[in-house]
Amino acid sequence: MGKSLQEKIDDYYQLAQYHMKLAQIMRKHNQFKASFFLCHSALISMTRALYIYEHKAEFGSEISLIDLLLLIHTDYNPGLEIAVFVGELNYIVNGEGKELEVIQDEDMKRVILRAKEILGILYERMRD
């Protein structure tokens, strides 16, 4: 028997939390590229949880930028800056990765803080 949708939401939320913990550990060890990818993975996991919560269904393996914008930025929950941030991370992660070669500790610290902020905002949307 498969998992309920609520169990899947909980699993994605827990996965996002684990990714953020690992991102912080990687940053402490100056593994900024790994930390960046983990922040991205955390946000994608939370986006999947939000999608299931909002639509009461799962989606395929990839979510498009348009779907992301429609999911995160609504009339009731304006979140354009969140969609832009996640979109930028997607662009960097799926690009050639040259942007990640110059990332410094302070930059990574800001990325982690913003990712944690966004995770909190998205989590609150699922609690309403």
Mean pLDDT calculated for residue range 37-63 = 90
Q: Are 20 and 42 in contact (CB under 8 A)?
A: yes
86 vs 67 pLDDT, higher one: 86
Q: Per the structure block, which two tokens stand in for 2?
A: 């498969």
pTM value > 0.85: yes
Sign of CA dihedral 69, 71, 75, 77: negative
Euclidean distance between CA atoms 119 and 53, whole angstroms: 14
Euclidean distance between CA atoms 87 and 89, whole angstroms: 5
CATH (domain of 67):
1.20.120.330
- Give the count of domains, the chain: 1
pLDDT at 97 over 80: no
Q: What is the pLDDT of residue 58?
A: 85
Single out the residue of 32, 41, 42, 33 nearest to residue 106, CA to CA. 32
1 vs 121 pLDDT, higher one: 121
Sign of CA dihedral 62, 64, 70, 72: positive
pLDDT at 63 over 90: no
- The percent of residues in the chain predicted with pLDDT above 70, rounded, is 98
Mean pLDDT calculated for residue range 5-16 = 96
Residues 6+ apart with CB under 8 A from 38: 19, 20, 22, 23, 26
Domain hosting 29: range is 5-127
